[in-house]
Structure 1
């Protein structure tokens, strides 16, 4: 039996559970069941904290977990933003901005990989702050819709933070990508 943590361990099962929650949250939003959507989103957030704690505290980190965790996080956030954009509960321009950023980053990584010059995946501080702002904004919107309270002005503040941090994050990733792949030398 190989040594080290098994690929399918408790933290990875928790992460898979978070992935399974994605269509349930989207269904709840589409069905205007915002309390359910908020609770499922909260459960997903709690599961993210629990799987991370277990993986680190009990030395259960795996390559599979390192791949699945950000996929679960992005699948949940992108799906919620798209669903809330379709229902008109958040501005569509914000959805386009958030989703486009992720596509641009993934696209740049794929291009550098095809150029036989893969770029290391290192989250930037601006990206981490962007994720926090995106989660906070989504939670506030879902909570205000589900529990019928006016989120103003906090919704505008968080929406501005998401906008600014998304633009900053994609700009910094683009600069890092250009530096990584290099630019043609001037003749």
Structure 2
């Protein structure tokens, strides 16, 4: 193992934390759940720091890091919905947005051009609200804490930024696909004209 593999290992560790996190959440062990989330957050910050500080970025890392975060969030959200702490419409909204982005990315990659994961500012804000909502729900279940109004506000913030970031992704990559297709068509037409000119001469 080399040093540059550490960020990917930390991302892999966050994926492995999904099972124990879902288990303790379902058992309503909220204090332990909070500690697992703290560990996941520290590993997320550490792998990002190491990747940038020592130029240990990699293609695998650019995929693993957001995938690990997304799997942790969506699995926690589903568990909390089953326990009655989150509305199902929010789960459907978050999942639908992620599915649209994934299908769009695959379509762009295979039909248009090479796809690079580029989280937008709205997407980063949406992820931040999702994390804060997850933590707030867990804290709200701890003895002595009652922050249900904050939880309710965060639910709607997550919903709004989920919709807006989804629209932003579709718009951004749709325009990019249109430009690539337009440039290819222009290049094809130019090449065809040159071929016709050569043929006639």
Q: What TM-score does the superposition give when structure 1 sets the normalisation length?
A: 0.87
Question: Are the structure 2 counterparts of residues 147 and 103 from structure 1 closer, same or farther at C-alpha, using a change threshold of 3 Å?
Answer: farther
Deviation at 1:98, TM superposition (A): 1.0
Q: How many residues align?
A: 181
Q: C-alpha distance in 2, partners of 1:169/1:59?
A: 29
Q: C-alpha distance in 1, partners of 2:100/2:143?
A: 35
Deviation at 1:58, TM superposition (A): 2.6
2:107 maps to which of 104, 108, 111 = 111
Report which of the two structures shows the higher radius of gyration computed on alpha carbons.
2
Does residue 126 of the first structure (1) align with residue 122 of the second (2)? yes
Deviation at 1:59, TM superposition (A): 2.7
Deviation at 1:173, TM superposition (A): 1.0
Deviation at 1:36, TM superposition (A): 1.3
Q: What TM-score does the superposition give when structure 2 sets the normalisation length?
A: 0.81
- Give unpaired runs (5+ residues) of structure 1: none
Greater relative contact order (Cα 8 A, min sep 6): structure 1 or 2?
1
Residues 119 and 177, structure 1, Cα contact 8 Å, conserved in 2: no
- Per-residue CA deviation, residues 76-95 of structure 1 (Å, 9 max, x unaligned), is 11111111112111111111
- Per-residue CA deviation, residues 34-80 of structure 1 (Å, 9 max, x unaligned), is 11111101110111011111222233222222221111111111111
Does residue 11 of the first structure (1) align with residue 7 of the second (2)? yes
Q: C-alpha distance in 2, partners of 1:46/1:148?
A: 26
Deviation at 1:121, TM superposition (A): 2.5
Residues 7 and 62, structure 1, Cα contact 8 Å, conserved in 2: no
- Per-residue CA deviation, residues 106-153 of structure 1 (Å, 9 max, x unaligned), is 011112223243444211111010000000001111122234521132
Q: C-alpha distance in 2, partners of 1:151/1:26?
A: 22
The more displaced of 115-124 and 81-90 is: 115-124
Residues 8 and 47, structure 2, Cα contact 8 Å, conserved in 1: yes
Three-state SS of the structure 2 residue aligned to 1:9 is helix
1:153 maps to which of 149, 152, 155 = 149
| 1:47-126 equivalence runs, <5 A | 47-126=43-122
Deviation at 1:180, TM superposition (A): 2.7
Question: Are the structure 2 counterparts of residues 120 and 9 from structure 1 closer, same or farther at C-alpha, using a change threshold of 3 Å?
Answer: closer
Q: C-alpha distance in 2, partners of 1:46/1:30?
A: 23
Q: C-alpha distance in 2, partners of 1:59/1:179?
A: 31
Matched with 1:169 is 165
- Per-residue CA deviation, residues 140-176 of structure 1 (Å, 9 max, x unaligned), is 1112223452113211221121111001000111112
Deviation at 1:7, TM superposition (A): 8.1
Three-state SS of the structure 2 residue aligned to 1:157 is helix
